């Protein structure tokens, strides 16, 4: 469809942290730095790991817990080094079909929520079953990139 796409994601490992009781913007900031430190060597092997995209944030309806995640690079998928911080963990996300809406610009939590609502409305109107109680935000660009930015919102297909 012109306003969204359906992607099939394979099972993959992500490094994540959950930030509780903060605004989404503050949770993203705190979560990013915790995960960045993991990549910089705060892991059991004390190795540096390349930064990957996207950076995702799990947003649940009516909840102030936000799970921030980095995709584990392909060369570390088989055995990612374990984090040394207790609130950072490696998780395996199962293969899934995901509805994706892309948009540009600098994405705020409000913009992500707006785009997620547009996607949800479109999916409902087309009779596409999806998990409505949560969505993911996905950011692909460094904060220093000014133009041609790429952001997404994801709903999982039922």
List of domains in the chain: 5-156 (3.20.80.10)
Any residues with CB less than 8 A from the CB of 95 and at least 6 apart, and which? 8, 9, 10, 11
Chain segment 8-58, per-residue pLDDT in tens: 999 999 999 999 999 999 999 999 999 999 999 999 999 999 999 999 999
Residue 143 has a pLDDT of 81
CB 154 within 8 A of CB 99: yes
pTM for this prediction: 0.95
Query: Whole-angstrom Cα distance, residue 115 to residue 104?
Result: 11
Q: What is the pLDDT of residue 144?
A: 86
């Amino acid at each position: 469809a012109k306003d969204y796409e359906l992607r099939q994601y394979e099972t993959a490992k992500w490094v994540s942290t959950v930030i509780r009781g903060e605004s989404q913007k503050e949770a993203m900031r705190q979560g990013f730095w915790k995960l960045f430190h993991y990549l910089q060597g705060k892991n059991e092997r004390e190795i540096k790991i390349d930064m990957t995209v996207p950076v995702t944030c799990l947003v649940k309806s009516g909840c102030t817990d936000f799970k921030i995640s980095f995709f584990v690079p392909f060369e570390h998928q088989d055995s990612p080094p374990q984090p040394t911080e207790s609130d950072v963990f490696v998780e395996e996300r199962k293969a899934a079909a995901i509805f994706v809406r892309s948009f540009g610009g600098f994405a705020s939590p409000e913009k992500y929520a707006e785009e997620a609502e547009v996607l949800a409305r479109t999916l409902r109107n087309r009779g596409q079953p999806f998990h409505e109680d949560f969505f993911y935000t996905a950011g692909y660009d460094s904060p220093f990139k000014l133009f041609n930015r790429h952001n997404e919102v994801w709903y999982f297909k039922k």
